Structure 1
Amino acid sequence: MTWQTLVAPLSELGESPFWHPEEQSLYWVDIPGRQIHRCKVGDVSNGPVQSWAMPTEPGSIAPARTGGRASGLVIALRDGIYRARQWGGELEQLVRAGHDTATTRFNDGKADPVGRFWAGTMYEPRDARQAQLFSVDCREGRAPLVELKAGDAIIANGLAWSPDAATVYWTDTPSHTIRAWDWDGQSNVMSRGRVFRQWPGKPEGWQPGMPGYGGRPDGAAVDVEGNYYVAMFEGGRLLKLSPAGELLADIAVPARCPTMPCFGGADLRTLYLTTARYKRPDEELQTWPDSGCVFSMRVDVPGLPVNFFRD
């Protein structure tokens, strides 16, 4: 398996990629760059990258449907959850953030299998476990119903669901821990919380380029067999874990800081991966000059299609 570099601008911190099946396009965000990008990706060549500037940092995005028709995006910005009915359109605030936006912003998020949007927060001082995970339900035109789903974290990441929609995964990146819960989609109840996989923390005094550290879990995606792919930030690798949390593959990445995978292409057998270059050392960027690009690789097992937010 070999990584290819997608023709795309470098992102400072690429995140939240998803494949839009109706547009045959890849979407992703640049969080500190305050941009949403999209690119039509073909078998032979790729279209131009389109970019849309945001008023604050876009932590995550998901495609949306209204009455069964594709209709733009749902977007988690620093200060709330927003709805855009079309590319470049007006931003309608669905939910105002309940956190202090001076210290906290929305981060990783996705739509769930029944059409709610979930988004976690990031506590930027990183000295207290104040990050939380919320779901927002606007199905059938209802007023946004917001539920607190989990907490006790610093940086929310790794959100994903199993193929049977019976398990939800969520990561606190600084604690190097992926958690899992049983989940009932109709009632939106999580139960039997547990540790799915955990890694040792960063060794004291470790600096980028030193051995002895494999990175910490960031964004994730799941394939049709239930395997969980997780980007290991600062580890320069993407891990494939079985539904039981066993390591199945350790895939080297041409960037020190991979951030989040997703599956795409007509057969969902192209694995896309966003990466970061934001505030990385000069020596690291000289070694991996494509840091910040989106990479792709063909895989044997297809991934799950993206879930749409529904209103």
Structure 2
Amino acid sequence: MPAQSRTMWQTLPNSLCELGESPFWHPHEQSLYWIDIPGRAVLRTRGATGGEVQRWPLAEEPGCIAPARRGGLVLALRSGIYRAREWGGALQLLAPADYDTTTLRFNDGKCDPLGRFWAGTLNEPKDQANATLYCLDARAGRAPVVTKMANAATTANGLGFAPDARTVYWADTAAHAVRAWDWAGEANALTRERVFHQFDMKPASWTPESGVPYQGRPDGATIDAAGDYWVAMFEGAQLLRLSPAGEVREAIALPVQCPTMPCFGGDDLRTLFVTSGRKGRPAAEIARLPASGSVIQQRVATPGLPVAFFED
């Protein structure tokens, strides 16, 4: 693996969460959105440098969100997928959860380039690989149709779509693996499943202070304009940039132990934002890495891809 590059990260003011996730840059509003899963909230702030952070409380945990072309958001909550027409507005149920909500909930997801919303689930006891990746299609005003796209995961994460819209990536955090499929976008068919990158499992003796090598496990991800896959390595205190062939191009050290998901934003999509978590982390770790749970950011050379909007 390449040596870690060390860069200057800035903490977005007032962005502290228990477990930040699902960030995206809204180009029309010039705003960054993200969620706090256990905090049951959607957050947003205007501008790439931060300022006032608005918090929208929810009745249950959000797993992921995406902007809608006609305004508002689509949200995957524990009990199903919902549509909000405006910030803080009423939630319209698009599709109820078809799983046991006492042990499963929605987790990572986003929209594909054709305007469909994808979201995977998470097995909270971590006792079986029964998480599923769903795709909801509500385009052209049709009644929402939900399709199961993939399964056999414990913690759905790392969803991404290649710039040419011919490859889908999906990670299982617990398995320390990222899978990939060939994708026919119009037909929405996945074929030729393979392991995109397999990371080493966590050593039983590892702690952040142990000195035992551990690169972390794949959490949320984003893809840049060149097709590289940027993945947050939970507990690894780093962001890895993988080539379309699955090779590690760069390892970027982070000032948080548990990064959760990156996204590109700003006018030129060259500001890299990374959400992170602090829930359940040791007090000594939080003291050593006080940015834990905040959104961190830095400028990068390669731009990202613009966020895909939900079409309905």
Structure 2 distance, partners of 1:155, 1:65, is 29
Q: Is the 8 A contact 1:209 1:284 kept in 2?
A: no
1:206 & 1:272 partners in 2: Cα distance?
A: 28
| Residue number in structure 1 paired with 2:216 | 215
- Cα distance in structure 2, aligned partners of 1:8 and 1:178: 32
Counterpart CA distance in 2 for 1:130 and 1:205 is: 27
Equivalent in the alignment of 2:17: 11
Cα distance in 2 for partners of 1:84, 1:213 equals: 40
| CA distances 1:254-305 after superposition (whole Å, capped 9, x unpaired) | 0000000000000000000000001001111111111001001101010000
CA distance in 1, matches of 2:282, 2:162: 36
Unaligned runs of 5+ in 1: none
Structure 2 residue corresponding to 1:52, chosen from 42, 51, 56: 56
- Distance in 2 (alpha carbons) for counterparts of 1:73 and 1:12: 22
| 1:46 aligned counterpart, secondary structure | coil
Contact 1:3 1:297 (8 Å CA) reproduced: yes
**What is the letter of the counterpart of residue 283 of structure 2?**
D
Residue identity opposite 2:93 in structure 1: Q
1:21 aligns to 2:22 (yes or no): no
How many pairs were matched up? 305
Q: How does 1:154-233 map to 2 (within 5 A)?
A: 154-210=154-210, 211-233=212-234
Deviation at 1:208, TM superposition (A): 3.2
Identity of aligned residues (%): 59
Q: 1:203, 1:222 → 2: CA distance?
A: 29
1:103 is aligned to 103
SS of residue matched to 1:47: coil
Q: Secondary structure of 1:291's match?
A: coil
Aligned equivalents of 1:150, 1:248: Cα separation in 2: 27
* TM-score of the pair, normalised by structure 2: 0.96
Q: Distance in 1 between matches of 2:40 and 2:95?
A: 19
Give, in angstroms, the shift of residue 205 of structure 1.
2.9
* CA deviations over 1:68-104 (Å, ceiling 9, x no partner): xxx1000000010000000010000100000111000
CA displacement 1:51-72 (0-9 Å, x = unmatched): 0001100110000013xxxx10
> Which residue number corresponds to residue 119 of structure 1?
119
4+ residue runs of structure 1 moved beyond 3 angstroms? none
How far does residue 10 in structure 1 lie from its aligned partner after superposition?
1.1
Residue pair 1:229, 1:239 contacting (<8 A) in 2 also: yes
Unpaired segments ≥5 residues, structure 2: 1-6
Contact 2:237 2:258 in 1 (8 A): yes
Amino acid at match of 1:258: P
